[in-house]
């Protein structure tokens, strides 16, 4: 197993306090992990998945506009740690200009990171050691398969 596994969003499941975002990579026995996000970021993720046009820029749109103004782009998202049932992530942002190429690594919530990755068509990775420690939530995704976001891959 390499140090990082590329994953895709396999489904979303509403919860009383937000939404479960199910991630899988199609390998490693069909394991699925779930990251629970608040309602606001869940709404943003859903809008990006469905290509919904918004009348005014939301927070993730603003971040993308700032990146564009700085000639920067999101290269990838890495979910890099799991502590006390809380996931951690890093954004890898590249800026290229006449002075050269600079890569900046920024600590970020996985929820915001996934929303930005969807919006900017950047890949999402999970560190192999995190993947191994994370609970397999395939059963929960299977139980929600009656929902419209069911067990189909939802990321383009």
pTM, two decimal places:
0.86
The DSSP letter of residue 16 is T
Token pair of 26 as six digits = 């199609």
Nearest to 30 by CA among 125, 124, 137: 137
94-131 pLDDT, tens digit each: 998 888 899 999 999 999 999 999 999 999 999 999 99
Distance in angstroms (rounded) separating the CA atoms of residues 15 and 12: 10
22-80 pLDDT, tens digit each: 999 876 568 999 999 999 999 899 899 888 888 888 888 899 999 998 889 999 999 99
The domain 4-146 is classified under which CATH number: 3.30.565.10, 3.10.690.10, 3.90.1010.10, 3.40.50.300? 3.10.690.10
pLDDT at position 151 over 50: no
pLDDT of residue 116: 96
């Amino acid at each position: 197993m390499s140090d990082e596994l590329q994953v895709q969003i396999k489904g979303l499941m509403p919860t009383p306090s937000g939404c479960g975002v199910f991630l899988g990579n199609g390998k490693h026995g069909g394991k699925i992990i779930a990251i629970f996000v608040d309602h606001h970021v869940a709404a943003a993720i859903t809008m990006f998945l469905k290509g919904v046009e918004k009348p005014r820029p939301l927070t993730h749109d603003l971040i993308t506009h700032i990146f564009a103004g700085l000639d920067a782009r999101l290269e990838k998202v890495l979910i890099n740690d799991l502590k006390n049932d809380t996931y951690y992530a890093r954004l890898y942002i590249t800026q290229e200009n006449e002075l050269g190429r600079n890569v900046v690594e920024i600590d970020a919530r996985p929820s915001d990171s996934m929303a930005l990755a969807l919006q900017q068509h950047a890949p999402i990775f999970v560190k192999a050691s995190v993947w191994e420690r994370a609970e397999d939530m395939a059963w929960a995704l299977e139980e929600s398969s009656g929902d419209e976001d069911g067990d189909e891959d939802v990321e383009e």
